[in-house]
Structure 1
Amino acid sequence: MSDATPAFAPLPRADAADGSPRRVGVEIELGGLSEARVAKIAQQAFGGTLARGSGPSWKLEDSPVGALDIYLDTSLRKSEKSALRDAAMALGRDIIPVEIVTEPLDLDGLARLNRLLPHLRDGGARGSSAGLVLGFGVHFNVQIASDSMEDIRRPLTAYALLEDWLRAAMPIDDTRRILPFTAPYPTTFVRALLALPENAPLAELVDLYVQHNPTRNRGLDMLPLFKHLAPDHLASVQTEATSARPTFHFRLPDCRIDEPDWSLLTEWQRWLLVERLAEDPRLLAAMGRVWQAAHGPVTLSRRTWAQRCGDLLIGAGLAEEPIT
C-alpha cells in the first residue's frame, strides 16, 4: 500500500493524564460486502492472521493496526446457531451493516486504517447514501484527557454548542437524519448544561445528562463514559448493552465509503473542532452566552443558531465558510 496518506492532526490535548498519547478506537459500518469478504480484503491489504469466530464474525490479528474485529452488526450473531437464526440474518443482510472495530489507535494507526478504505470501496463496499434505510456511520471512541470534571464537561459543552452547526455545515446523510441513531441533544439539555454551576460535581453532570438523554441515540453518546465514571448514577437507564469505557463515544459521522473523496480524515475534522473549542474557555463561555441569548423558551429553528455559531467560529479562525 502507498504511504501517501494525509496525516491526522493531533488533538489539542495530545496526551492523557499519565503522559501517554491519547488513543482512538474506530468503528466503521458498511454494506455491500459480507463480513467474510471484508475480512479477506483487510487481510490482503494489511497481512496478518485471519480467524473465523462463532457466527458471522472474523478476527484479523497481527496487522499494522493491531487486531480488527469484523462482524455482521446484529445481536442475532450471538444467538445459538439454528436454521431460523440463519434465515433471519439472511433476510436482513441488505440493511444490517458489517462492522469493523479496531483496538485503540494512535494517529499513525488512524492513518494506516484510512488506507483500507479504497480497498473496500474497490471491492464494492457501500455507505449511507446507497439506500434509503442504510444509516451506516463511523464511530470514534476518543480517550478522555483525564477524568476531571472540566475535561469531561468542556468537550461535552463544546459539542452541545457546535452540534447544530456540524449538522448544517457538514451534513450527515438524509438516511441518518430519519433513522434512530444520532438524534441531536434536546435544547432543554443544552440550556441546563450551560446553567450548571462551575463548582458542580461530576455526579451532578451525569445526573443531568441522563435526565435529558436516557438513550444511546445521540451524536455524542456519553453513556459509556458515564458508566465508567459513575455507574451508580445510570440505574434509570437500560445500559446492559453499554460497555463502560473512558472515551467520548462520537457517533455522528457518516460512512460514505463508496464516495472517492471521503475518508476517515474528513470525519476526524469534526471531533478536532469540538476539542479545539473545548480548549478555548473564553470562546466557549462567549459562545454559551450567545446561545442563551439566541434561544427563547421554545426553539423553533436550529438553523438560525447554526448560522450564528458559524459566524462565531469564522471570527475565531476555527471555520472558513458561512452556512448558505
Structure 2
Amino acid sequence: MTDKAQGTITLPNPNTTDGDTRQLGVEIEFGGLKEEAVADIVVDCFGGQIVPRDDKGLIIEDTEIGDIEVYLDSQYLHQAESSFDKKLLDIARKFVPLELVTSPFPHTALDKLDVIVDRLKQAGAVGTDGGLLLGYGVHFNPEVEALTLEKILPVLTAYALCEDALREAANIDLSRRALPFVDPYPRALVDALAERDFGSMAELIDCYLELAPSRNYGLDMMCIFAMIDKDRVAAEMDMATISARPTYHFRLPDCRIDQDDWSLELEWQRWIKIEKIARDADLLEDLKEAWKEHRASLTSIRSDWRKESSKLTGDF
C-alpha cells in the first residue's frame, strides 16, 4: 500500500520537526537535446521565463515549482567561441551530461516533474542505456526532518545496510559503476554504523570523515555534515566541492529517461523505503544484528548479504 499526497508517493515523515512540508531538489542528467530545447519544454509545461547566464547555461525563472537550471556539465565548453570550440561542444553533447536542476520544491509535487520527463523523452532525450560511456544519473536531495542525530543516524544506517540490495534492484549501469560517483560504502563504515553507539553528531561526523572521506557515494552525507559543523568537515575535505545544505544527496539511480516504463517516482519509491526502514527501530536492529553475523562468517561475500538483507526488508 502506498501513501499519496497530491498524486505523489510521500515520505513516511512528510514534514520537518517544525511542521513544514519537506522540500526536495532533483537533478537529472541526460543527453540528446540542446539546452534551448529543454528550456522551451520546461516553459511549455510549467511557465516561467528563460534567462541566459554567461557562466553556465540557462535558468528558467518563476516556474510552477520554482527556478529550474539547464546546462551542459562543463564550465569550459560553455565558453566556446571559436569554430573549433563549438565543434568540441557538439562532440561533448554525446558524452557530457546535460543537467536539469530544480530549486527545492514540496516533495509531494514530484509527479509534476515527471510531466517534463515524458516530454523530454518524446523530444529524443537519451538516458544511461544510450551508449557504453553514458553514465547519466538522477540525484534526489530530500530535506532532512531535522539536523539531529536522532533523525539522521537511522536513515544513514538504513541506507548503509540496504545499499547492496538497493544497488541490485536498481540495476546500476556498468558505465556508472566505472565512474567514481556511486561507489558503495566501505565495509568499515557499515561495521561502525551497525556496532557503535554514537553519543553525539560530532562522533558520527568524525567516524564518517575517517572511514568514508569522499563525496563519491550513492548517499553523499557531506552536505548535511557541512551544514551541521562546517569547520569539522573543512578540516578534512575541500569545501570548494561541498554546498552546505540540510538535504540527503542520494545519487544512486540511473537516468533511463528514454525507457517507457521509467519515471522519477519509480526511483523515488526506493528512497522512501529506506526512510521507512529507518523509522522501524526493530527492523533496523535486526538488520544490524544480521550484518554482524554476516561479517563474523569467514566465507561471507557481498552477494550473500544482499540475499540476507532482502529477507528482512523485502524487495526494493
TM above 0.5, one fold?
Answer: yes
Distance 2:10 2:108 in 1: 10
| Structure 1 residue 216 corresponds to structure 2 residue 222 | no
The offset of 1:272, in angstroms, is 0.4
Cα distance change on mapping 1:107 and 1:223 into 2, 3 Å: closer
Alignment-derived partner of residue 120 in structure 2: 120
Please say if residues 31 and 98 of structure 2, whose CA atoms lie closer than 8 Å, have aligned partners that are also in contact.
Answer: yes
Please say if residues 8 and 109 of structure 2, whose CA atoms lie closer than 8 Å, have aligned partners that are also in contact.
Answer: no
The residue matched to 1:132 in structure 2 has which SS? coil
Distance 1:262 1:129 in 2: 12
Amino acid at match of 1:44: D
For residues 174-226 of structure 1, the C-alpha deviation after alignment (integer angstroms, 9 at most, x for no partner) is 2212221100001111001222224x210111111111222111000001111
Please say if residues 193 and 208 of structure 1, whose CA atoms lie closer than 8 Å, have aligned partners that are also in contact.
Answer: no
Distance 2:101 2:121 in 1: 17
Structure 1 segment 12-27 matched on structure 2, within 5 A: 12-27=12-27
How many residue pairs are counted as aligned between the two chains? 310
Q: How large is the RMSD of aligned CA atoms in angstroms? A: 2.1
Q: Which TM-score applies when normalising by structure 1?
A: 0.90
Structure 1 segment 125-204 matched on structure 2, within 5 A: 125-198=125-198, 200-204=199-203
Alignment-derived partner of residue 253 in structure 2: 253
The offset of 1:44, in angstroms, is 2.0
Alignment-derived partner of residue 206 in structure 1: 205
Distance 1:166 1:6 in 2: 27
Q: Which TM-score applies when normalising by structure 2?
A: 0.92
The offset of 1:101, in angstroms, is 0.8
Cα distance change on mapping 1:298 and 1:248 into 2, 3 Å: farther
Please say if residues 76 and 89 of structure 1, whose CA atoms lie closer than 8 Å, have aligned partners that are also in contact.
Answer: no
Which shows bigger deviation, 22-31 or 289-298?
289-298
Distance 2:210 2:167 in 1: 24
Alignment-derived partner of residue 309 in structure 1: 309
Q: Which runs of 4+ in 1 moved over 3 A?
A: 80-91, 296-300
The offset of 1:30, in angstroms, is 0.6
Alignment-derived partner of residue 263 in structure 1: 263
The offset of 1:271, in angstroms, is 0.5
Distance 2:283 2:154 in 1: 11
Unaligned runs of 5+ in 1: none
Which shows bigger deviation, 34-43 or 148-157?
34-43
| Structure 1 residue 65 corresponds to structure 2 residue 65 | yes
Please say if residues 55 and 81 of structure 1, whose CA atoms lie closer than 8 Å, have aligned partners that are also in contact.
Answer: no
Please say if residues 41 and 120 of structure 2, whose CA atoms lie closer than 8 Å, have aligned partners that are also in contact.
Answer: yes
The residue matched to 2:158 in structure 1 has which SS? helix
Amino acid at match of 2:219: L
Alignment-derived partner of residue 53 in structure 2: 53
Distance 1:244 1:87 in 2: 36
